[in-house]
Amino acid sequence: MSRIVIVSHSHPNLRYGGGEVAAYRQFQHLLSLGEDAHFVGSTIGPEDSDKFFGRSQQVIAFSPRDYCLQGRGMDGFQMEHARIADEDWLVEFLLSFGADIYHFHHFWNIGAGTIRRLRAALPEARFLCTLHEMTAICANHGQMVKRSGELCHAASEVACAACLQRPPADFVLRRARMSEMLGVFDQLLSPSEFLRDRFEDWGIAPGRIAVIENGLDHAADPLPETEAELLRKSGRFAFFGQATPTKGLDVLIRAAALIEAQGHDSDQPLAIEIHGLDEASFRRMWPELKVPECVRFCGRYRPQDGVQIMRGYGWIIIPSVWWENSPVVIQEARAAGTPMIASDIGGMAEKTAGWGIPFRTADATALAAAILSVHGDAQALAEHKARITPPLDLAGFHQEWLRICHQTRPQNELGVQVA
């Protein structure tokens, strides 16, 4: 039996995000199959570490197979640890598993140097990496959004230098360093075609990145709904996410304010509910925005409850102002059988094509129009629900993962095109 270590930049027990959730679900599924699997996550920098770790503590064991490391913080440009002692300890810790397969979900908090040294020490092991966003391409949090807020369509040394106020030579070196790190993996994975295409445009050789959607187990399809139930739900909209600037929650609030100001011709009340944060968290980030009466903040929720909560709504809104990749909220909406209103870019456009309603990214007027186009319309809701297909489950993901994991990689092939 192969020993498998799933490595994530964060741990979902401490911080809930799409990449770490996908990694942890994979780990749990491996355990359910009786595999010799281990999970290694991390805290996000000193702030989280101070909350959960003692002064000299370096690791928390949630179980004999489930670990969270003390994240020291990392320079996102270099993607390296500030102290070589931290890298030394992490390399030793990961080596102690003696695993046959190391699957990295991201490399933040792990470090490019850690991965290179681990690869050199374990030449016979299989190394995989799931690319959850564009950190290797973009030094601005991997989101390919300029500091002005404008979407970035392609990285270049000159454009990146102008955006981040660093010499172009820094970006030449960063690209070489990131390319070298990605080259040590036997296989790169992407949950979306959009993300694969971005990396191939950047220089990763075609065929090096396999597209496989993150797995999500889902309950049986909900019972058929009556017309009265569909009508009631057609007035209920929801947002699921975190209070970060790029999630576009401010766009949704502005859209709700526009609807409230102009009124709406429907007997069905309009309700927009926000899951994942409370109103105080929202006000700290956008203090100038007034929250309309039709908006209600519901606070945090347990991740395992997300699909069931979504089934109570007619529409889920995902208004992110960056490209996204394969947001877990889209998979959960598919599992719930609840259609979406989504920004028209990146993984959001790809993953909701055919069953969602797109609107122009960051445009509150366009979002308001999209909401009003289906508000109180039971027939439109029924038609969009009928187009939804369930997401890939974990069993399907595992079968595809096994096939990809054991593919033979040509010798001396770094997988990076040379200009």
Instruction: Report the pLDDT value the prediction gives residue 223, as an integer from 0 to 100.
Output: 76
Is residue 125 within 8 A of residue 133, CB to CB? The reply is no
Instruction: Report the pLDDT value the prediction gives residue 297, as an integer from 0 to 100.
Output: 97
Instruction: Report the pLDDT value the prediction gives residue 413, as an integer from 0 to 100.
Output: 47
Is residue 72 within 8 A of residue 90, CB to CB? The reply is no
| Structure token digits, residue 393 | 């489950």
- Per-residue pLDDT of 341-367, as tens digits, reads 999 999 999 999 999 999 999 999 999
Instruction: Report the pLDDT value the prediction gives residue 414, as an integer from 0 to 100.
Output: 47
Distance CA 99, CA 172 (A): 34
CA torsion 181→187→328→23, rounded to 10°? -80
| Structure token digits, residue 365 | 């007027």
Is residue 351 within 8 A of residue 388, CB to CB? The reply is no
H-type helices in 187-226, by residue range? 193-202
Instruction: Report the pLDDT value the prediction gives residue 416, as an integer from 0 to 100.
Output: 47
Domain architecture of the chain: domains with CATH: 3-215+394-405 (3.40.50.2000), 227-386 (3.40.50.2000)
Distance CA 402, CA 56 (A): 39
Its sign, for the CA torsion 197, 200, 206, 208, is: negative
| Structure token digits, residue 159 | 């454009």
Nearest to 8 by CA among 147, 128, 87, 110: 110
Instruction: Report the pLDDT value the prediction gives residue 49, as an integer from 0 to 100.
Output: 67
Low-confidence ranges of the chain (pLDDT < 50): 410-419
Distance CA 263, CA 293 (A): 12
